[in-house]
Amino acid sequence: MTRKETVGDVAKESIPLNTGAVIRTPGNTKKYHTGSWRTFRPVIDQKTCIKCGTCWRVCPDAAIYIDKDGKYRINYDYCKGCLICFRECPVKAISKELEQK
Ligand code: SF4
Ligand code: SF4
């Protein structure tokens, strides 16, 4: 944009964009078990866990849940093994194991 051009002038010259990706069936990612990609499996030691919730907050796949007894558990169908939970657990209650397929 030169000094004499306005934002409006630039916008008129813009190339129209086609519609991008559209999610037609919200919630369909439930069908995709990202756990099948995993190389490492995080494992929570319930005796060491202080139930701080950090792993639950940082998991990018929402693969950690709290069971009816208040214990933090990992849903291995959706845990892709990124190990963010392993790195962030403040008391090292999460270990990593090589996935056995
Ligand atoms: S981050 Fe560690 S201590 Fe905190 S809830 Fe998860 S496993 Fe337990
Ligand atoms: S390894 Fe990654 S995807 Fe699996 S539970 Fe931990 S943070 Fe979530």
Verify whether ligand 2 is closer than 6 Å to residue 59 (CB atom): yes
The pLDDT of residue 10: 64
Verify whether ligand 2 is closer than 6 Å to residue 94 (CB atom): no
User: Counting ligands in written order, which one lies closest to the CA of residue 91?
Assistant: 1
* Two tokens, residue 66: 């709290």
pLDDT band for position 17 (cuts 50, 70, 90): confident
Give the integer Cα–Cα distance in Å for 77 and 35: 5
**pTM over the 0.75 mark:** yes
Mean pLDDT of 3-12: 66
Question: How many whole angstroms from 100 Cα to the centroid of ligand 2?
Answer: 17
Domains defined for the chain, CATH in brackets: 25-98 (3.30.70.20)
Residue-wise pLDDT tens digits, 53-92: 999 999 999 999 999 999 999 999 999 999 999 999 999 9
